[in-house]
Amino acid sequence: MAFDFDLFVIGGGSGGVRAARIAAGHGARVALAEEYRLGGTCVIRGCVPKKLMVFASEFPTAVADARAYGWDARIGAFDWPAFRAAMDAELTRLEGIYRSNLDKAGVTIHESRATLTDPHTVALADGRQVSAKHILIATGGRPFVPEEWAGMGCMTSNEVFKTGALPERLLIVGGGYIASEFACIFNGLGVKVTQFYRGAQILRGFDEEARGHIASQMQADGVDLQLGTEIRDMERDGSGYRVTATTGHDGHFDAVLFATGRRPNTDGLGLQDLGLSLAENGAIPVDDFSQSAIPSIYAVGDVTDRVNLTPVAIREGHSFADTVFGATPRTVDHSLIASAVFTRPEMGTIGLSEEDARAREKIDVYCAAFRPMHSLFAGRNDRVMMKLVVSQSSDRVLGCHIVGDHAGELIQLAGVAITMGATKADFDRTMAVHPTMAEELVTMRTPTRSS
């Protein structure tokens, strides 16, 4: 059978674009459909604009520090519309790069919603149908709002970047990294932030000690963090939302942001009509080569709900293209992935938490918490945490957790060593760089605790 294309990619985010470009580089005839904007969640409504907001939120502290260091520094009011316009311009620039790279690779771009009518046919929103030997689903995920509060005009991470003005009082619902990051961002921008989380501690799934460290600092910095708390009732009034909490922590807020999880974007794609069984949350089950139960259909990125991080989606897309079109079978190792949480303080992490490691084997834990030179001199009480989780039997470093300024940058370098299988002895014989925060990673000699 003759197909219009060798590969049709549905979704123009990081994973889909990488797969399209690499497949085209291997000589495949490739088309890609994106119904909104090229760049996907990360570039348009996720990592990139969020990180720009993180940068913006840090300037009040930086100016205060500058005064402590002798500068006659002052900061005025934050101009959200001006910042938002500049941020939008930057996202447009990045989207243009994505488009240019696809064009250079020879990928045919369809600015349209696409669905499947059979294992080799894609239907575009304008009525056209296109056939392909292989179809890759890379549609990412979407924010989830509990049904009882849907339709009330509350924000999610999709809308937060487009808000017309900063609220004076903001309620954030959720305790994951998105909720906690935005709590710190808006707090830094001068918004009075309250955060509700139904669990006992924010950032579930991360190292317990690191979670507690971050939560304590967030509260010290002014975030009204209410744990074990949910919305009992919420109603609109003329100037915002009146919220009743399960713990009696009631309040009136100008805006409410839900960051209560994400769901894979598979609704309406036609996959189930083709007989493909999806996970309970809508994720597409795939094998190690990103192939679904229908041989011609593959999926990468958040839509598979494996590890929902942009670099993972990119690696999965690249590996898919090399496997199917480059005659070089590749799989992605999801077992050891460094990541960063851009709260204040920031966290970088790779490997096992202390709790997960202890459940597997006997471990030694090396941990240091201290006031770093920069903020100590400025009179702030910020504390940095450096932590290594080490196997007693092999001496291998099973996990590294850093909480403090630039933790994301630090964990990338630590991740190289840990991915290579570094032992505690390898860390110990590495010469310290002084004076730095990171030197603590190679100067901790005595376990804080063993189990």
**What does the alpha-carbon distance between residue 214 and residue 211 come to, in Å, rounded to a whole number?**
5
Q: For residue 341, what are its two tokens?
A: 């949480």
- Is 434 marked active-site? yes
DSSP codes of every residue in 265-309: S-TTSSTGGGTPPPPTTS-----TTSB-SSTTEEE-GGGGTSS--
The phi-psi region of residue 40 (left if phi > 0; otherwise alpha if psi is between -120 and 50; otherwise beta) is left
Name the 3-class secondary structure at 401. Answer: strand
Q: Are 19 and 313 in contact, with CB atoms under 8 Å apart?
A: no
The active-site residue out of 26, 120, 401, 434 is 434
Kindly report whether the peptide bond that precedes residue 345 is cis, defined as omega within 30 degrees of 0. yes
Please, is 159 exposed, middle or buried when counting C-beta atoms within 10 Å of its C-beta (0-12, 13-18, 19+)? middle
Burial code (b: 16+ CB inside 10 Å, e: under 16) for 295-320 equals ebbbbbbbbbbbbbbbebbbbbbbbb
Name 448's Cβ contacts closer than 8 Å, sequence gap at least 6. Answer: 365, 366, 367
Please, is 133 exposed, middle or buried when counting C-beta atoms within 10 Å of its C-beta (0-12, 13-18, 19+)? middle
**What does the alpha-carbon distance between residue 426 and residue 395 come to, in Å, rounded to a whole number?**
9
Residue with tokens 């967030």: 218
Q: Catalytic positions, please? A: 434
